Amino acid sequence: MEYFGLFLLAVVVEGVITYVKEFFVNGNFKWEMLISILLGVFVAVAYGVDMLAMLGMKTGIPYIGSILTGILISRGSNYVCDLVKTLTAARSTGK
């Protein structure tokens, strides 16, 4: 179970980095991605949604969990659903 936190953070950081790398494709900035991220973060902070806290990971930095959750939300429902399934399966098996 102690490895779950490490796995969780690695998956979240990889998801955020992969998404942010898509901002510049062929030298063009994608404004719609920025708007999506800003809206996702706004909604997560406004409603106090923190996926990391829901999965047992508490942070000492206010709003960091909500900000990361907002970025993940901005990727869309299919991505978030698949991510939650993966994380909860890993948590229940103790991997």
Per-residue pLDDT tens digits of the chain, which is 95 residues long: 467 778 778 877 887 888 778 777 777 888 888 888 899 999 999 999 998 888 788 888 989 999 988 988 888 877 777 877 877 777 777 65
- The answer to whether the beta carbons of residues 22 and 34 sit under 8 Å apart is no
Q: Is residue 10 packed enough to be buried (19+ CB in 10 Å), middle (13-18) or exposed (0-12)?
A: exposed
Tell me which residue of 51, 70, 45 sits closest to 9, measured CA to CA.
51
Q: Hey, where are the domains in the chain?
A: 1-93
